[in-house]
Structure 1
Amino acid sequence: MTIRNLEYLFKPRSIAVVGRGKSPSNPDATVEFNLIEGGFKGPVMPVNPDYQSISGVLAYKDIASLPVVPDLAILTTPLEEAPALLSELGVRGTKAALLLSREVLQDHSGDRPALLGQELTRKYPNGVESLKQRILDTAKPHLLRVMGPDHLGYAVPSANVNASLNATRPLPGNIALLCQSAAMMRGIIDWATSRNIGFSHVISVGMRWDVDLGDLLDYLLRDSGTRAILMYMENTRNRRKFVSAARAAARVKPVIVLKPRDFRAGPLEDAVYDAVFQRAGILRVNNIEQLFGAAETLATAKPVYGNRLTILSNSYSLALLTSDTLLRRGGRLAEIGATTRERLAQDCRPGYPIENPVDLGDMAGPEQYAKALDYLLQEPGTDGVLVIHAPPSVDRSLESAKVVVDRAKNRRLIMTCWVGESSVESARELFNKAHMPTYRAPGEAVEAFMRLAEHRRTQDLLMETPPSIPEGFTPDVETARRIIQIASTAGRFRLNAYETSQILSAYEIPVAPLYFAATPEAATDRVLEMGGPVALKILSPDIVHKSDVGGVAFNLKNPLEVLVAATDMLKRVQELAPDAVIDGFAVQSMQSRHGAYELMIGVRTGRRFGPVIFFGHGGTESEVIGDIAFALPPLNMHLARDLMSRTRLYARLATNRGRPVDLNAVALTLIKVSQMVIDLAEIVEMDINPIWTDAGGVLTLDANILIEPSTEPAAQRLAISPYPKQLERVYDFPDGRSFLIRPILPEDEPGLKDLVKRMPAEDVRMRFFQPIRELPHEMAARLTQLDYEREMAFVVTEPNSLPGKGKILGAVRCNADPNMEKAEYAILVDRAMTGIGLGPLLMRYIINYAKNQGIKELYGEVLRENEAMLRLNRALNFSFHTSPDDPGVIHVTLPLN
C-alpha cells in the first residue's frame, strides 16, 4: 500500500505528452489541447517524431531531447512500447506516468469479457499479464508510478491539470470522483457540469496495473481540498488493501459508492459487497442523483444520532405521504412530549390535536413555523426536523423560509422542502446560501435523512467499543484440521454429518449428540443403547439438503421403527439420488426445547473478498423466508450483535419476553464460526441449520461443511487482517511475576482509559503533549480499534486475563505511513511498573515488530523535559534532532532496515 509519488500524478510541475504516428484523431493533440486549455501553469512538452508541433507547441523528437525533466509523462503510444519509454523516463527522473491507450485489453478482474489485440498476442504469448509485469518491473527501480492503462485519463481542476481525452472540462470543487468506467465518467461529468457541481479530482482508474483504488483512497484521505470521495465501482482486486484504505478514509470524510448490482454473479456477491461497504463505513447509493445528493447532504448537514424524524408541514396530505415514505425506508417518527404538544396546539393551531407529523394547516405563516420550530427543536427524542411548505392560498413562502433559516444555528438538523417551482426559487436560494439541506420533493428529503442515519450507524460501528467476550473459549484447532485432512486426502469435498459435528464440538459450539451407524441393523443397535425416541439421518457427502430426498426421519421410538425407516430411506435415496455415495446413518436422540427459535449461521466465500459470515431465520423454510444478513470476519461481540440486528428476526429475539433468548450465546457462536474461518483455510461453505436458541443458550441440530484444498494461510484470504495471535508473548520478570504482551483489541478501550486515569497527570502530559484527565471515547476508540494491516499497538496484561476484563499495565504502538517506510512510535507505562524494565522491553518489542514489517525508520516526538524517555532513546541508539519551530520538542529517529 503506497501513495509514494502520487503527487507527481496529480500536482505535476511539468508534463510530457509522448506519442507517435499521424492520425486524424491524434490523442496527443487532444490531451495537449486539454492541458493548455485547462490553464496548466508549467511546461507542456509534446514528444512525437512524426510532428513538428502539436496544438501549436513545438514537438520534440524523443525523450532525450526534452529540455526539462517532466514530473508526469502521458503516453499515448501503443502499449508494447511502454516498457522502453518508461525506462528512458525513469533514467531522466520522471516520477509518474499515465498510459492513455486506445487498445482493447483483457480485464483480468474477471467481471467483463474483453478482446486481446492480435499484435499483442503475437508479441507476448503469455498475454497482457506478461506486458503488465514488464511495465511494472521497468518502473519499479525508478519509483515511477504508473496510472492505467486507460482510454480517458483524469483531471485535477484545482491544479489546472486536465490529463484526459474528455471533451468537457470538469468544474473546480471539493468532491473527488473515482470511476471504473470511462463512459460513466463522461456521463457524470456532463451531469455535474449542467448542475454547476465541481470536483477536486475526477479520475478514471483504468485497469489499475499499479495505482489502484486503495492508493487513490489513501491519497485523497490526505488531500485538504477534498471534502467527500465518490466512487463508481464495479470490482476490486486487492481486497485487504481496498478495505484497509476505505476504513481509514471513511473515518475522516464521507466515502460514497455507486456500485451496480451484477445479477450474473448471483445475489451472494452483491450481499458480500454490502457487507464490505458496511464494515468499511462506506455509504452505498443506487443512482447518480443519490451519489451527489448524499455527498452534499453528508458534507453540509448537521450530524444525526438515529433515525427519528419530526415532520412539520402546512399540508396534512404531504405530511402523511412523507411519513409513509419514512416508515417504508426503516425510519421512525419521533415522539413529541405532552408538554410540547400542548404548546403547539395552543400557540400554532388552537383546538387542533397535535401529533407527529405536525400539521400547521393551510393558513400557517412565518409566525406559526417559527413557534413550532422553537418547541420541536428542544425535543430530546428527535434526530432531525423536516420542514415542508406547500403552496398556500396566500403566498408567504419566502417569509416562512427566513424564520427557518434564523433557526439554522440550532444544534439539531433542519431539512427543508418547499414544494413548487418558480414561486419558491427565492426560498431555495435562501436555504442554499445558508448551507441548509433543501429538496424539491419530500421523498428526496426522507431519502437524504435515512442516508444520514445509515452513515451515522456505520460510523458508530467503526468507533463503538465492543463488550468483552462473556466467556473465553479455546478451540481444538488440531482436531479440526485432522478431520479436514482425512476427508481431503480421501478426495472428498463435503464432510459428513459426523465429521461436521466433531469440528463444531472442537470449536465449543453445542451440538446435539450424534452417533454413526454404517447399516440399518447397526442403527437399531444404537437405538437400544440410547433409549427413547431418535432421529435418523442419511450420511452422504453428496447430499446437502437431506429432507429433499427423504433422508430424515424423526421420533422413531423402537428398533423396529428404526429398521423400517432406515431401509425405506436407503431405497428412497437411491432412487432420487442414484449417484450419491452413502456412508451410513447418523442417529440422534430427539431434542425438545419448547419455545426455542430456529436460526441459521454459516459461511460463504465470495470471489472478491473471501469468506463472509451469515446469520438469519433458520429451518426448512429459511430460503423462502429470505431473512439473512452478511458480515466480514473477524467478528467481535459488537459486530456479531450488529450482524444479528440487520435481520427481521432480531426484533423478536430481542423483545419477546415470553420467549427470552440468550443473545450473548448467539453472538458468541458467531464469533466461534468467525474463528473457524480464520483458522481453517479449507472451509469454503458452512451451513448450521437449524440451530436452536432460547434462554438456555444454543444447540445445533444439523450442519454441513464444504471444503477445498488450500495452500495459503487461512487468515490471508480474509479481507480484514484478523487478530495476530502469533505476536503474543509471555515474559517472566526477575521479581517472579509473568506478563503477557499481546496486540491491542477493541475490547481494551476500558482498560486503556483506566490506565490513563491511574497515571500521574505529568506522565499523561508527557505522552499526549497536553493535560488530559481521561481519554475521551473517540480518542480511545481510535487507539484500540486498529487495522492491523497498517498500524499496530501492544498492551501488557496479566497472562490469563480476558480482553476487556483485566488491567492494562503498559502500551506501545507504531503507526506507519502508507508507504511503509517510516513509523511513529508512542509508549505508555503504568507508574507502578517502573523500575522492572517494562519500558525498555516494550520499546525493543515495537522496534523488532517494525523491522519485521520492513519499515525503514522508527521515529518519535519527545518533550525536552521528558528525561526518562530521552535516556531510553539514547540507550536504544536513537538520533536526536531539534526543530527551530518548536525547541521544546525533540525529534528522535532510529534507522531500521
Structure 2
Amino acid sequence: MTIRNFDKLMKPASVALIGASPKRDSVGGVLTRNLLHQFKGPVGLVNPRHADIFGRPVAASASALGFVPDLAVVATPAPTVPAIIAELGAIGCKAAVVIGNGFGSSAEGRALTQAMLDAARPHLLRILGPNCVGLMLPGLSLNASFAHLDPLRGPIAFLSQSGAIITSVLDWAKPRGIGFSCMVSMGEMADVDFGDMLDHLASDPETRAILLYVEAVTHARKFMSAARIAARSKPVIVIKAGRFAETAKAVASHTGSMAGADAVYDAAFRRAGMLRVFSLDELFAAAETLGSGRRIAGDRLAILTNGGGIGILATDELAAQNGKLAELSPGTQAMLEAVLPPSWSHGNPVDIIGDAPPERYAQAIGPLLTDPGSDVLLVLNCPTAVAPSVKSAARVIEAVKKAERPVLVSWIGEQDARDARQLFAAAHIPSYETPEQAVRGFMHLVRYRRNQDMLMQTPPSVPEQFATDLPTAQAAIASALEAGHNLIQGPEAQAILKAFAIPTVESIVAATGAEAADAQRRIGQPVALKIRSPDISHKSDVGGVSLNLESPSDVAVAVLAMRERVERLSPGARIEGFTVEPMIHRATAHELILGLTDDPTFGPVVLFGSGGTSVEVVADRAIALPPLNMALARELMARTRIFRLLQGYRDRPAADLDAIALTLVKLSQIAIDLPDVAELDINPLLADAKGVLAVDSRLRLKPAARPGSSRLAIRPYPRRLEEPFPMPDGGGTLLLRPILPEDEPQLAAAFARMSPESVRMRFFAPLKEVPPYLRARLTQIDYEREMALVLVGPGPAGQAEIFAVVRISADPDNDSAEFAIAVLDQLAGHGIGTRLMEKIIAYARGRGIRRIVGIVLNENLAMIDICRRLGFRTELESDRADALRVTLDLAAPGPAAS
C-alpha cells in the first residue's frame, strides 16, 4: 500500500480526536486546543469520561460521533489502539495519526503494532505513526499535533522521524519567517513511511521543496523509486542522523569493513538525485537556495564585494569546498574597468572598495550577469558609514530583477543587515548571514545539479558485449555451500569471476610443498605462494603470502616458513594447501579494490577505490548501488582520489578507464545474478593502459532468503522480458526487450523518422524534436513503476535501431497504469501495434496492475480500433474534447513480477 487514501490523511475535511482531554498540560489537552484553534472543518472529541471539554460536546466513542471523520488522531494508551483502529475502520474512517508510544521493538510492542495494522488492513485505513508528535497542515489551518506552536504557511514540506526535531525546527523556523506546506512527524512508520510521503509530495502543487530528517529507511526499493520521482520534480534535501554509528557486523572482506551504513545511505541519496546536508542550518539554507526554483548551467562562481576581507573569506571557503572561482572574460574586465574606480581588484572577487555607493553595485552587477565565464553571482556587503546597507540591498534587488542566472547575497552585520535581509526575502533572493554560508549555498546548487545530471545523463554504450556463464558460477557456489564452505578464494573464486568475463590470473592448487614446488617448475617464472584456508580471509595479515619465488627450492623453503607463521598467528585455522600463481609485472599498473557487500537496508552495494595491502589505512573508496551502467560506474570512480592518477600523469600513461568501468558493471551483474554472494573482494585489481587483471579475490557466501533481483534497492534490467519478435510476411526477426538508458540516441533517431502526423498522434502536439530532458526521462525508467518495451534491430543498446515502443507507467498503488505506443510509419498496417499492446497487457497483468488506461485522439481511428478489439471500453475524455479515454479492466492478477 502506498498513497491510497492519502487525500484523507493530507487533505482532511473533518477530524476526530480520540483521547481528548481538559488537562491543558497533557498531550490530549494540547491536541484538543491545537485542533480547535483554527481548523474550520468539523472536529469531533472522543473521551468516555467527559461530557464536554472546553465547552465542546464529547462523544463516548468514535461510532457515537454522529459523522465519519476523514482523519482521526488517536492519543490513548498503546494497548487500546488496535480496538480503536478497528472501530474507526468500521465506521468508514480512512486515516489515523497514532500519537502514543508503547509500541517499539519489544515483543509486546511488536505484537501491538501488528494488531493495529491487522485492524486497519480490511478497511484500507492509513496510519501515521505510532510514537509521533502528529501532523501539521498550515494550508488547512490544521495542527493535529501536540507541538507548542502553529507553523507558518509556506512552500516547504518537512518530514522527520524525530518528534523532538519537529518541535525544535518549528521553534527555529517561525521567527525566521520560514513557512511549510506540511510538517509530518513520521514516528515509527508502521504504515505510512518516507516512500509514501514522497509519492504524495512529488505532485503536491503547494510544495516547492521537500526536507527529510532521516534516522532509518524502511522498504528501500519503495523509498528509492519514490525519491527518484520526487527529485525529478522538486528539490529533495535530506539530513541523516547517526552518521558515525558503529556496526557490530562481522565481515570477511575489506569491502564489508569499509562500506559503513552511513556511506551506503550517502550512495542511496546521491543515486536518487537528493541533496544531502549535515546540519539543520544547512538544511534550511539549502531549501532557500534550491526552493527558489533557479537552476545553474555550470559550477563557476563570480563574487562581488565592497570589502576585500570578506571576499577572501568567501574564496577560501570555495576552495575548501572544491568549488570553482570564475575566470572573468576580457570583455567583462573591460566593462568593469569602464565603470569602477581605478583601485578595484581587477579580478574575481570583484572588490568595488569600501566606499562603494549603491549605484556602484548596480554598475558592476550588469557585466557580471552576462559574463560567459561564470554561472552564479554572489554579492557581499559589509556595513560602512558611507553607504547604508539597506540602500545597497535595494539597488542590488533592482539590478538583478531580470537576471537569468542565480544570484546569492550575504549582508554582514546585525541591525542594517537584518533590514536588508528582509528586503531580499521579499524579493525571493537567497540571503545568508556570512560569506561562508553563502558559498555553501552555492555548493548546494552545484551538488544538486550534479545529482540531477546523473538522473538525466545518457550513458555510453558498453564498450564490449560480455557473455556470462551463469550456470558455471551457480554450480560453483552451490557446490561450496553444500560442502559447508562459506569462504571461496583462489581458483574457485577466479572461476566465478571468469564466468562474468573478468580477467584473472591463473592459479595452480597444491596440497603439499612438493606439489607447490612442481607448480613453480611448470610455470617457469617467478611465482607467488598463497595459503589456502577456509578460516583465513586476509592472507597477508597472517604471513600467508610469499612473493617473487624464483625456483622450486625457493617455494619449498617458503612453504615451511609459511606454515610456521600461519600456525603461530592463526592457531586452529585449517590449512588445505597452497595456491601458486605467476608473478605479474605491470610496472605502470595501479592497485585497485572492487567489491560487493550486502547492506541490511539497501541490499547489495558496490565499492571502488585504492587497493593493495594498505587499503583500509588509505581509505580511498566510494560506494554505489547496483545496477550500474558505464556512466554510473564512471561517476563512482570519479569520487575517489585515485581517479585522477588513473587518468595519467608525468610519464605514467592513463589506465584503461573503460575496462575498469566495465569491470564494475560486471560486478554489478554478479550482485544481481548470484544472490548467495554476501561479500566479494577483488584486491588488487591491476589497471593500466593494457586493461585490468584481478590478482586476488575472495567471496563470502550466505544462502539468500530472496532472489537476487528482489534484494536490490533499485529493480534491475529485467532480462527475462527479452524475446525474438518475428516480423510479418517473412520480414525477419527483431528483438523485443525493455528499454535501456543507452537507447536515448536511437530513440531520437526513431522520432526523426516519424511523420509529423504520427508525432502529433503520439504527443498530442506538433513537435520538431523530443527535447533531451524528455528523451532521458523516456529511456531512464524505473522498472519498479514503469515498463517500456522497444522493438529493435541487431546491435547493442545505443546502436540498435528502434522501430517501435510501447510503455506503461503505473501509479504508486499499482492500481492503474497509463499506456502509450509509437510504431514507425514503415511498420504500420501489419498488426505490430496490436501485438505490442498484447505484450504490455500481459506484463501489466503479471505485475498485478488492475487496469490500463490511455488517452487517444478521436481521429486516431487505427488505435481506437486496436483498443476496442482488445477489450478496452471507451468514453469521452473530460479534459479534452478531441480525445477519448480508453480503459481495460484486467482479470484477476497473476503472480507479481520479480
Give the shorter-chain TM-score range: over 0.9
Report 1:199-278 matches (<5 A): 199-266=180-247, 268-278=260-270
- Counterpart residue number, 1:435: 428
* Aligned position for 1:647: 640
1:79 is matched with 78
The one-letter amino acid of 1:420's match is: G
**2:387 and 2:23 mapped to 1: Cα distance?**
62
CA shift digits 1:856-888 (9 cap, x unpaired):
111110001111111111111111101355221
Cα distance per residue 1:585-611 (max 9 Å; x no partner): 111111111211111111122221111
Paired-residue identity, %: 46
CA distance in 1, matches of 2:768, 2:879: 28
- How far the C-alpha of 1:438 sits from its partner, in A, is 1.8
Aligned residue runs from structure 1 range 18-29, under 5 A = 18-19=18-19, 26-29=26-29
Give secondary structure in 2 for the equivalent of 1:377.
helix
1:762-812 deviation digits (Å, cap 9, x = unpaired): 0010000001111111111111111111111110112x4211110011000
The question of whether the paired residues in 2 share the 8 Å contact of 1:722 and 1:788 is answered with yes
**d(CA) in 2 for partners of 1:885 and 1:269?**
48
Look up the match of 1:337: 329
SS in 2 for 1:51: coil
Partner of 2:63: 64
Do 1:150 and 1:206's aligned partners in 2 also have CA atoms closer than 8 Å?
A: yes
Match of 1:113 in 2: none
Name 2:844's counterpart in structure 1. Answer: 850
1:414 match: 407
For residue 294 of structure 1, what is the aligned residue in structure 2? 286
Query: 1:151: Cα distance to partner?
Result: 4.1
In 1, distance between residues paired with 2:77 and 2:419? 54
Secondary structure of 1:150's aligned partner:
coil
Q: Which of 789, 794, 800 in structure 1 is aligned with 2:789?
A: 794
Q: Which AA in structure 2 matches 1:740?
A: L
**Alpha-carbon distance between aligned partners in 2 of 1:839 and 1:311, rounded to the nearest angstrom:** 57
Query: Contact (CA 8 Å) 2:132, 2:188: kept in 1 or not?
Result: no
SS in 2 for 1:361: coil
Give the distance between the partners of 1:459 and 1:850, measured in 2 at CA. Answer: 29
Gaps of 5+ in 1: 108-115, 117-125
Higher mean C-alpha displacement, 485-494 vs 876-885:
876-885
Q: Structure 1, residues 363-413: CA drift from partner, whole Å, max 9, x if none?
A: 333444333322222222212121222234622534433442233222122
Higher mean Cα deviation, 722-731 or 405-414? 405-414
* 2:775 matches 1:780: yes
Q: In structure 1, how many angstroms separate the alpha carbons of the residues matched to 2:235 and 2:161?
A: 19
Aligned to 1:752: 747
Q: What residue number does 1:692 align with?
A: 686
Equivalence for 1:157:
138
* Deviation by residue 1:642-669 (Cα, 9 ceiling, x = unmatched): 1011111112223537411211111100
Residues 250 and 840 (structure 1), Cα distance of their counterparts in 2 relative to 1, 3 Å cut: same
CA deviations on 1:460-506 (whole Å, 9 max, x unpaired) are 11111111111111111111111111111122221122211111111
8 A Cα contact 2:78 2:103, kept in partner: no
1:92 aligns with 2:91: yes
Question: Contact 1:795–1:808 (CA<8 Å) still a contact in 2?
Answer: yes
Kindly report which structure 2 residues correspond to 1:441-456, keeping only aligned pairs within 5 A, or say none.
441-456=434-449
Alignment match, 2:478: 485
Partner of 2:254: none
Compare 192-201 and 660-669 and name the one that shifted more: 192-201
Aligned to 1:119: none
Q: Secondary structure at the match of 1:844?
A: helix
The 8 Å contact of residues 21 and 50 in structure 1, kept in 2 or not, is answered as: no
Question: Is the CA contact (8 Å cut-off) linking 2:74 and 2:97 kept in structure 1?
Answer: yes
Q: Aligned residue for 2:758?
A: 763
Whichever residue aligns with residue 80 of structure 1, its letter is P
Alignment of 1:431-830 (within 5 A): 431-654=424-647, 656=649, 658=651, 659-736=653-730, 737-798=732-793, 800-830=794-824
Task: Evaluate the alpha carbon distance shift between residue 349 and residue 517 of structure 1 in structure 2; reply closer, same or farther with a 3 A threshold.
Answer: farther
Helix, strand or coil at the partner of 2:127: strand
Task: Check whether the contact 2:211–2:237 (CA below 8 A) recurs between aligned residues.
Answer: yes
- Judged with a 3 Å threshold, the aligned counterparts in structure 2 of structure 1 residues 161 and 479 are, in CA distance, closer, same or farther, namely same
Q: Secondary structure at the match of 1:472?
A: coil
C-alpha separation between the residues in 2 aligned to 1:880 and 1:349? Answer: 73
Q: 2:870 aligns with which of 870, 876, 882?
A: 876
1:626 maps to a residue whose letter is A
Cα distance between partner residues in 1 of 2:132 and 2:457: 43
Judge conservation of contact 1:684–1:707 (CA < 8 Å) in 2. Answer: yes
- 1:81 deviates by 2.7
1:310-345 deviation per Cα after TM superposition (whole angstroms, max 9, x unaligned): 122222222222111101111011122234334434
- Using the TM superposition, give the Cα deviation of residue 352 of structure 1 relative to its aligned residue in structure 2, in angstroms: 6.2
Unaligned runs of 5+ in 2: 248-258, 892-898
Distance in 2 of aligned mates of 1:198 and 1:430: 17
Q: Is the 8 A contact 1:20 1:49 kept in 2?
A: no
1:177·1:230 contact (CA, 8 Å) conserved in 2?
Answer: yes
| Alpha-carbon distance between aligned partners in 1 of 2:420 and 2:128, rounded to the nearest angstrom | 45
CA distance in 2, matches of 1:44, 1:554: 79
The residue that corresponds to 1:166 in the other structure is 147
Alignment of structure 1 residues 388-427 onto 2, 5 Å? 388-392=380-384, 394-408=386-400, 409-427=402-420
- Between stretches 349-358 and 561-570, larger displacement belongs to 349-358
Report the Cα distance in structure 1 between the residues aligned to 2:25 and 2:309, rounded to whole angstroms: 58
- Counterpart in the other structure of 2:104: 106
Task: Classify 1:325/1:487 alpha carbon distance in 2 versus 1 (closer, same or farther; 3 Å).
Answer: same
| AA of the residue aligned to 1:288 | L
Query: What amino acid does structure 2 have at the position aligned with 1:19?
Result: G
CA separation of 1:301 and 1:871: change in aligned 2, threshold 3 A: closer
Q: In the aligned structure 2, how far is the partner of 1:688 from the partner of 1:86?
A: 53
Could you tell me which of 872, 878, 890 is aligned with 2:884?
890
Q: What is residue 3 of structure 2 aligned with on the other side?
A: 3
- Corresponding residue of 1:831: 825
CA contact (8 A) 2:530 2:580 kept: yes
Of 830, 847, 861, which aligns to 2:855?
861
Q: Which residue does the alignment assign to 1:325?
A: 317
Question: Per-residue CA shift, 1:536-594, capped at 9, x if unaligned?
Answer: 11122222222221111111111111111112111111111112121211111111112
Q: Supply the AA of the counterpart residue of 1:200.
A: S
Using the alignment, how far apart are the partners of 2:102 and 2:304 within structure 1? Answer: 55
| Matches of 1:491 and 1:18, distance apart in 2 | 56
Identify which range, 401-410 or 54-63, moves more after superposition. 401-410
Q: Provide the aligned length of Structure 1 versus Structure 2.
A: 877
User: 2-side partners of 1:355 and 1:436: how far apart?
Assistant: 25
Q: Which residue of 2 aligns with 1:122?
A: none
Report if the CA contact (8 A) 2:97-2:135 is conserved.
Answer: no
| Aligned mates of 2:833, 2:559 — CA distance in 1 | 67
Deviates more, 1:363-372 or 1:471-480: 363-372
Amino acid at match of 1:139: A
**Matched residues in 1 for 2:222 and 2:214: separation?**
15
Contact 2:622 2:637 in 1 (8 A): yes
Range moving further from structure 2, 317-326 or 866-875: 317-326
Q: How far off is 1:263 after superposition?
A: 2.5
Aligned to 1:148, which of 129, 153, 161?
129
